Amino acid sequence: MSHRSIATKTGDDGTTSLLYGQRVAKTHPQIEAVGALDELNVALGAAKCAAADQTIKALLEGVQRNLVALMGEVSCAETDLPRWQGANFAKLDASALSELETRITVLEAGGLKFDGWATPGANPAAIAFDTARVTARRAERRLLTLPAHGRTPRPLLGAYLNRLSDLLWLLARAAEQPV
């Protein structure tokens, strides 16, 4: 059994690969967007660890799977999109956005109490959700820069990140509520 090292050394020159092997600078806007999505995935993992409710943990795990699909799409060069569309990769679809919207509706109907602008840090779970929220906003901003650089993501991707940050804000406020 051969062992393949994570250290390929191919990035020592400051470049990395997009999904189908096209080399770009590590500072390329697509790589910035994928990196921000990766940071979001890690922040969601921290929020999942901090969440007490198993339903929330399962929700966040599903969101993490959706982010992997989103990252795959974003890491594909515009010219390789037909190849990606025909490949057997997981793809973000409208049902993922609908699930977030349903969760938002349920949380809002629960009578959360908050006054004015939130001051994060009430407890570890709330700060984990708020950290994930601001990371989602950064990922959304990075995604929105791509059209100026020749890569136009589907509108669903931006809507998903926007709704995710809304959901994370609500989860943070819910975590602050007295038990």
pLDDT digits (tens, 9 = 90+) for 4-53: 877 777 677 788 888 898 899 899 999 999 999 999 999 999 999 999 99
φ, ψ of residue 25 to 5 degrees: the values are: -65, 145
Residue 1 has pLDDT above 70, yes or no: no
pLDDT digits (tens, 9 = 90+) for 125-163: 999 999 999 999 999 999 999 999 999 999 999 999 999
pLDDT at 34: 96
What domains, with CATH codes, occur in the chain?
28-176 (1.20.1200.10)
Please state the three-class secondary structure of the chain as a single string.
CCCCCCCCCHHHHCEEECCCCCEEECCCHHHHHHHHHHHHHHHHHHHHHHCCCHHHHHHHHHHHHHHHHHHHHHCCCHHHHHHHHHCCCCCCCHHHHHHHHHHHHHHHHCCCCCCCCCCCCCCHHHHHHHHHHHHHHHHHHHHHHHHHHCCCCCHHHHHHHHHHHHHHHHHHHHHHCCC
Residue 120 has pLDDT above 90, yes or no: no
